[in-house]
């Protein structure tokens, strides 16, 4: 029988998350919730890929019916060199968390962490106006780079940053431009003076890690404080900021929102980030 007589088999789209290890990822829970909720015939699976197998995996996955993947540690930087098209924001951040396997065979790499960060704040603090006051970012790791890019994009007039390893903060200033001002790690307390937005982008405060201990005396009560850490939801930084009268937004919403653009591209439905999704991911 010739191929032309073979009926077209409808493809069930597959997506997933690649990492090493990957078992800790909440992405399968999150996307699984959306697939079920919208009645979409598709699957989202965790894929444990060793670093030495990354290039091969990206060649094979599209041929196996995958329409794209999320990318987690340790592959976020390495995928940039393997992608055919890299968005400006992923290139600037130096990492990608969302890959789209296009029908023409090209791999498109994007970074949606910054989008997720801003969308979370806009949803949970609708009267937040980033363009009206200075922002302060504590930490200069991979996630901080996405936060810095998104805050600058949202129009903050000045962005202060401090990191234990000062060099990483200086690299961010060199790459992101003159609105970025570097503070010493010992000066974080002073850095918070007069800011409208304060972000913990370090991993301090995570379950099993030391708390972020910085004097918050200078943090204005009018500021919005947010944390990228979401285990626990209420971090020592957020608790202390709230005691000072600040509005606080936890980091789980960033995780939920960063997933939405990928889901829409892969499965053709714009998903909602709401209480039902939060509950499903926390369960
Ligand atoms: P990363 O690249 O490893 O950076 C870690 C950051 O924490 C660096 O700034 C590091 O400073 C700082 N740090 C770690 N231990 C420290 C200590 N003992 N004292 C002072 N600073 C310390 O990690 P990442 O990818 O940026 O992630 C940072 C946090 O954000 C993690 O908790 C991660 O789970 C969370 N995150 C959340 C989301 C979300 O959707 N909510 C998304 C991405 C990441 P040095 O440079 O000096 O090491």
The pLDDT tens digits of the residues spanning 51-106 come to 999 999 999 999 999 999 999 999 999 999 999 999 999 999 999 999 999 999 99
How far, in Å, is the centroid of ligand 1 from the Cα of 251?
13
Ligand 1 centroid to Cα of residue 266, in Å, is 29
Residue 260: CB atoms within 10 A of its CB come to 20
Q: What is the dihedral of CA 224, 230, 235, 240, to 10 degrees?
A: 0
Are the C-beta atoms of residues 93 and 145 closer than 8 Å to each other? yes
Q: Atom 30 in ligand 1: which residue has the minimum CA distance?
A: 228
- Answer whether 14-111+254-282 and 114-250 agree in fold: yes
- Enter the CATH code of domain 114-250: 3.40.50.720
For the Cβ of 163 lying below 6 angstroms from any atom of ligand 1, the answer is yes
What confidence score (pLDDT) does residue 11 get?
A: 84
Q: Is 253 a pocket residue for ligand 1 (Cβ < 6 Å)? A: no
CA dihedral 55, 58, 59, 64 (to 10 degrees): 150
pLDDT confidence of residue 7: 55
pLDDT at 2: 41
Topology at the third CATH level for domain 14-111+254-282:
Rossmann fold (3.40.50)
- Compute CA distances 188 → 104, 160, 219, 241, whole Å: 48, 9, 10, 14
Count of alpha carbons within 13 Å of 12, Cβ hemisphere only? 7
CA 131 to chain centre: 21
Q: Locate the ligand 1 atom nearest the alpha carbon of residue 168 and give its number.
A: 46
Catalytic residue numbers read 76
204 CA → ligand 1 middle, Å: 7
Is the distance from the beta carbon of residue 164 to the nearest atom of ligand 1 less than 6 Å? yes
* Domain chopping of the chain, boundaries: 14-111+254-282, 114-250
Task: Write the secondary structure of the chain as one string of H (helix), E (strand) and C (coil).
Answer: CCHHHCCCCCCCCEEEEEECCCCCCCHHHHHHHHHHHCCCCCEEEEEECCHHHHHHHHHHHHHHCEEEEEECCCCCCHHHHHCCEECHHHHHHCCCCEEEECCCCCEEEECCHHHHHHHHHHHHCCCCCHHHCCEEEECCCHHHHHHHHHHHHCCCCCEEEECCCHHHHHHHHHHHCCCEEEECHHHHHHHCCCCCEEEECCCCCCCCCCCCCCCCCCCCCCCEEEECCCCCCCCHHHHHHHHCCCEEECCHHHHHHHHHHHHHHHHCCCCCCCHHHHHHHHC
Low-confidence stretches of the chain (pLDDT < 70) are: 1-10
């Amino acid at each position: 029988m010739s191929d032309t007589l073979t009926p077209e088999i409808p493809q069930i789209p597959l997506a997933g998350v690649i990492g090493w290890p990957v078992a800790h990822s909440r992405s399968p829970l999150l996307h699984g919730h959306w697939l079920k909720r919208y009645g979409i015939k598709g699957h989202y699976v965790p894929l444990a890929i060793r670093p030495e197998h990354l290039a091969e995996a990206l060649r094979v996955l599209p041929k196996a019916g995958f329409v794209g993947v999320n990318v987690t540690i340790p592959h976020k930087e390495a995928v940039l060199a393997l992608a055919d098209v890299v968005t400006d924001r992923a290139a600037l951040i130096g990492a990608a968390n969302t890959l789209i396997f296009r029908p023409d065979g090209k791999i498109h790499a994007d970074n949606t962490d910054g989008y997720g960060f801003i969308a979370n704040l806009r949803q949970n603090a609708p009267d937040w106006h980033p363009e009206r006051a200075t922002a302060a970012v504590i930490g200069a790791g991979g996630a901080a780079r996405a936060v810095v890019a998104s805050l600058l994009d949202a129009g903050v007039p000045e962005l202060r940053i401090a990191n234990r390893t000062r060099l990483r903060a200086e690299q961010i200033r060199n790459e992101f431009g003159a609105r970025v001002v570097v503070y010493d790690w010992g000066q974080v307390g002073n850095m918070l003076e007069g800011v409208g937005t304060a972000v913990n982008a370090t991993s301090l405060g995570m379950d099993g890690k030391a708390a972020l201990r910085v004097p918050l005396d200078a943090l204005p009560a009018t500021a919005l404080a947010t944390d990228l850490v979401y285990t626990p939801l209420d971090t020592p930084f957020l608790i202390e900021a709230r005691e000072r009268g600040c509005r606080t937004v936890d980091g789980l919403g960033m995780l939920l929102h960063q997933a939405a653009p990928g889901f829409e591209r892969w499965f053709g439905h714009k998903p909602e980030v709401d209480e039902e999704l939060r509950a499903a991911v926390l369960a």
